[in-house]
Structure 1
């Protein structure tokens, strides 16, 4: 999707560890990082429900619900195939403290162009999720382009203030896309990477009057400052939103879900987005 067609100017890929100042991102806060779970969906254990193990051996197996099965994936051999109706997977408790710095990554591929929002992963609380990562469709767009959307409320309540970041420059949702949610509690910043890229796309302002040339254009920035979220004490769910009434079940395949305590930097995210085989289950090295 060409940015120019939307009246946008691509400012470029942001690198948090290098940028600073009021117009850019603060420098990456240094803190410990640890793998708290990795589900590769390469095997299942029979049971009621069936489950798939955590390769990192830090968290419980991920339970599988509805019409879910393993099939061709992107990393190694298999991925989690979801029907978009009732299938999803969950770990009984979110394996990280979401009020502190954390990172969650996954690969996702939709089986068809969706006409409704589809959630890839969420960290459930009591009243709402500490974060939700979804694809939001663009009805009426013949190309099927929509946007990846990350939402983070500041409290586990219906009246919480919610921050949202979006990313639209990516491969077709029917292709494999690597998604990474990074929350840096020290910087109070949330970042959404798609295929290893953190975007900043600004509306064109050729006359320099401070207003978009196209009045319908909106800046697209895949990060936000002054973000706070709460400690989720419910399950980590893959393939649906927290509310079963809203559903937002994902139709397609999700693969290689990682959960880290600590905020990965851009080079670490890029490593995961650019690797496909024999990835060691450890915190990736980063510059």
Structure 2
């Protein structure tokens, strides 16, 4: 039977359930499955871990000894969303595990009539990939930054802080309330990070950390204070690689080079770099394939062939790089914060990079760093200052916006408040939270479809990210005081993206928005999964929705949004406790903990 015919038979068989009536004497029996090294089949008393994420698992299917005329196989791995098929009396397939753990493969043979037979099963265990050979949290009170890499037997490469290098209490892990096992800490701990002055500040190990002849991965969180005409280096190992900001490109780049030669490759991120916002950077080099990859916020940005770098003997530099023009001098000093640096002596796969960008703490929690926190309690005047997060952003009031000592009052006509500069990397994960009291009398006059913005961030493509209220058709309710029916305004909360063409991708509240009473709203964007969540009070509404993000720093506005130079979508409301975090809350429980007063 021709291969095309066999594939057609196998594809048709996928539409038939295995239990479809078929003579038991002729239905194929459970086929034989052979698993190639490095993996081994789990036995009742022996299930050995092997391989790792990204290490291929290869299976060969063969007919049961009692069967003949087998033309194809159907199979599904426990991590696969759907069944697949492959033609042949015997067949070999390969799957790439994306994470460690136990996997099960189910296979059934298909005969010439297109009928699937009995299933065979094979379990195997995928080991965790080798851990980081170096990891630096920069959370010590003083002294060197300690290397907490997890590979046993490896030399620890502590990093010495020099020049204008200090630690501040704006580390990317934010305020930690639980340990890695999810156990509450005796008291909250504020994370520290490496702060560099852009002129002399840097940290460095005493010798090389990465063997650049072999595969490797670099990972770091950065928050540049300035991005302008000067290049800024995040990580570099003399003569091997440089992960940095390229001023001519306005973007993050990875440069790999061979020592003693001019042969090098530069990978440039597609999205522009954002100043004053936390961004996750990662880069991998696959030595067998001579391929380098650059990631921003867990998403692949560039891939290209790269020259073999050979051995390099220089130290790992945090925040500066060896000059190309003057080999004895260093240059491109970083201005801003660097934190949570890690290196591996292997090329991590996409799933592992995404997990690193989530900065997972364990027990369903991700690290989140407060980058904006404004409370109107006791406030007055034309400016509301963030005195809680440590970043000191100001909200400038305009039009019919005023502070009354308890709330930020917005008149719904031209009132708004705008932050002084970017708060977030537009392509990164974030969480926002606020308390809103909607003016029922004002929204009762709105036409269906009219929207008012709680907060907004306009992106490079003209779309608007944020939380907003949208009017729906009014409904009739019985008034127990007048014993008469009355029309009441109806509208719903939305969190997501309003597209430039007027359509939107958003999670909508399950119930109509209440007016004239405080309502707590929380929005979560997971950049790695591309999903959004909306919470009204402590309850998750609508389920996660997949939505595309658009990079760009954008203006962060409360009570309205911008369309060019014009403010639109004004909201009549009173607002208090506006809070913004870099990073996505990992669970409903974490949302509850983050937003608790």
Alignment partners' CA distance in 2, 1:135 and 1:236: 17
Alignment partners' CA distance in 1, 2:198 and 2:286: 31
Deviations 1:190-218 (A, max 9, x none): 0010111113xxxxxxxxxxxxxxxxxxx
Matches within 5 A, 1:230-269: 230-243=310-323, 245=329, 247-269=331-353
TM-score calculated relative to the size of structure 1:
0.69
Alignment partners' CA distance in 2, 1:250 and 1:75: 20
Deviations 1:118-162 (A, max 9, x none): 0111011xxxx2001110124xxxxxx8111111112x11x3311
Question: Which structure exhibits the higher relative contact order, with contacts defined as CA atoms closer than 8 Å and separated by 6 or more residues?
Answer: 1
Partner in structure 2 of residue 227 of structure 1: 307
Partner in structure 2 of residue 108 of structure 1: 222
Partner in structure 1 of residue 146 of structure 2: 53
Secondary structure of 1:52's aligned partner: coil
Partner in structure 2 of residue 92 of structure 1: 206
Query: What are the ranges of 5 or more consecutive residues in structure 2 without an aligned counterpart?
Result: 1-53, 57-94, 99-127, 175-190, 367-597
Question: Is the contact made by 1:118 and 1:240 (CA closer than 8 Å) also made in structure 2?
Answer: yes
Residues 146 and 37 from structure 1, CA distance in 2 versus in 1: closer, same or farther, beyond 3 angstroms? same
Deviations 1:11-63 (A, max 9, x none): xxxxx999xxxxxxxx98x9963311100000044xxxx31111226522110
Partner in structure 1 of residue 383 of structure 2: none
Question: Is the contact made by 2:285 and 2:293 (CA closer than 8 Å) also made in structure 1?
Answer: yes
Partner in structure 2 of residue 73 of structure 1: 171
Residues 35 and 131 from structure 1, CA distance in 2 versus in 1: closer, same or farther, beyond 3 angstroms? same
1:257 Cα deviation from its structure 2 partner = 0.5
TM-score calculated relative to the size of structure 2:
0.34
Alignment partners' CA distance in 2, 1:226 and 1:75: 33
Bigger-Rg structure (1/2): 2
Residues 84 and 226 from structure 1, CA distance in 2 versus in 1: closer, same or farther, beyond 3 angstroms? closer
1:271 Cα deviation from its structure 2 partner = 0.4
Structure with greater proportional strand content:
2
Deviations 1:197-256 (A, max 9, x none): 113xxxxxxxxxxxxxxxxxxxxxx11125321222110000001236451000000000
CA RMSD of aligned residues (A): 2.8
Count of aligned pairs: 219
1:96 Cα deviation from its structure 2 partner = 2.3
1:174 Cα deviation from its structure 2 partner = 2.2
Question: Is the contact made by 2:250 and 2:273 (CA closer than 8 Å) also made in structure 1?
Answer: no
Matches within 5 A, 1:1-80: 33-45=130-142, 50-56=143-149, 58=154, 59-71=156-168, 72-76=170-174, 77-80=191-194
Q: Which stretches of structure 1, 4 residues or more, deviate above 6 A after TM superposition?
A: none
Residues 171 and 148 from structure 1, CA distance in 2 versus in 1: closer, same or farther, beyond 3 angstroms? closer
Question: Is the contact made by 2:215 and 2:287 (CA closer than 8 Å) also made in structure 1?
Answer: yes
Q: Does 1:153 align with 2:257?
A: yes
Question: Is the contact made by 1:74 and 1:276 (CA closer than 8 Å) also made in structure 2?
Answer: no
Question: Is the contact made by 1:41 and 1:255 (CA closer than 8 Å) also made in structure 2?
Answer: yes
Secondary structure of 1:89's aligned partner: strand
Partner in structure 1 of residue 236 of structure 2: 122
Alignment partners' CA distance in 1, 2:204 and 2:137: 13
Secondary structure of 2:253's aligned partner: strand
Alignment partners' CA distance in 1, 2:336 and 2:55: 34
Question: Is the contact made by 1:34 and 1:262 (CA closer than 8 Å) also made in structure 2?
Answer: no
1:93 Cα deviation from its structure 2 partner = 1.5
1:172 Cα deviation from its structure 2 partner = 1.4
Residues 246 and 54 from structure 1, CA distance in 2 versus in 1: closer, same or farther, beyond 3 angstroms? closer
Q: Residue 196 of structure 1: which of 293, 298, 313 is its match?
A: 298
Partner in structure 1 of residue 418 of structure 2: none
Residues 184 and 33 from structure 1, CA distance in 2 versus in 1: closer, same or farther, beyond 3 angstroms? farther
